[in-house]
């Protein structure tokens, strides 16, 4: 099984790319749980909500892994939730940090901030895109995870991601 994690700041095309790649490869795609959770929340989110979102994302990932697919794409994996919690509340739970280590993702696609910002009621930080991109990069390097940065137009991102995935598939 090959696991691809798509990560990075808000409004960088993570969901679009995850769906495109899953369709191209006929693979399993695990959508972002936070969108659904927040869409049904009738109040501002809390630290407890974000931790529940992380649990929900992990449950979705685990459920998809039980299908034992050859290739799986995670739209918004657990690093996103860790950074969200630490930025908003200054901390993240131990179980989340441990789960990040146990994801065993073969390749992370770190989405660059070179796409225009698209407003969305669930997005909060249009002015901090570089700050968050740098944080994601530091996080991936600190864990020594295999990652590449994906930049350019939506079409170029898809092509660049496919090149990286094809290399990975050829080596396995």
Assess whether pLDDT exceeds 90 at residue 134. yes
CATH tag for 2-171 (out of 3.40.50.300, 3.30.70.20, 1.10.579.10, 3.40.309.10): 3.40.50.300
Residues composing the chain? 172
Assess whether pLDDT exceeds 80 at residue 121. no
Half-sphere CA count of 25, side-chain side, radius 13 A:
24
Assess whether pLDDT exceeds 90 at residue 172. no
Q: Residue 19: its pLDDT value, please?
A: 96
Instruction: Report the chain's C-alpha Rg in angstroms.
Output: 15
Which residue ranges make up each domain of the chain?
Answer: 2-171
Give per-residue pLDDT as tens, 56-113.
999 999 999 999 999 999 998 899 999 999 999 999 999 999 999 998 999 999 999 9
Which of 50, 138, 136 has the alpha carbon at shortest distance from 92? 50
**Cα(33)–Cα(159) distance, integer angstroms:** 26
pLDDT grade for 37, boundaries at 50, 70 and 90: very high
Contacts 24+ apart (CB under 8 A), 118-123: 118/11, 120/10, 120/11, 122/34, 122/35, 122/38, 122/39, 123/10, 123/11
């Amino acid at each position: 099984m090959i696991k691809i994690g798509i990560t990075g700041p808000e409004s960088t095309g993570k969901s679009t790319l995850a769906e495109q790649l899953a369709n191209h490869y006929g693979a399993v795609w695990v959508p972002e749980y936070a969108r659904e959770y927040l869409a049904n929340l009738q109040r501002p989110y809390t630290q407890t909500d974000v931790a529940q979102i992380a649990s929900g994302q992990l449950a979705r990932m685990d459920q998809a892994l039980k299908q034992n697919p050859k290739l799986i794409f995670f739209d918004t994996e657990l690093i996103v939730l860790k950074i969200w919690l630490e930025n908003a509340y200054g901390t993240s739970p131990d179980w989340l940090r441990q789960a990040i280590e146990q994801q065993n993702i073969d390749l992370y696609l770190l989405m660059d901030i070179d796409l225009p910002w698209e407003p969305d009621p669930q997005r909060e930080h249009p002015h901090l895109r570089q700050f968050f991109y740098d944080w994601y990069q530091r996080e991936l390097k600190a864990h020594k995870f295999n990652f590449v940065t994906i930049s350019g137009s939506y079409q170029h991102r898809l092509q660049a991601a496919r090149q990286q995935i094809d290399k990975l598939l050829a080596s396995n």
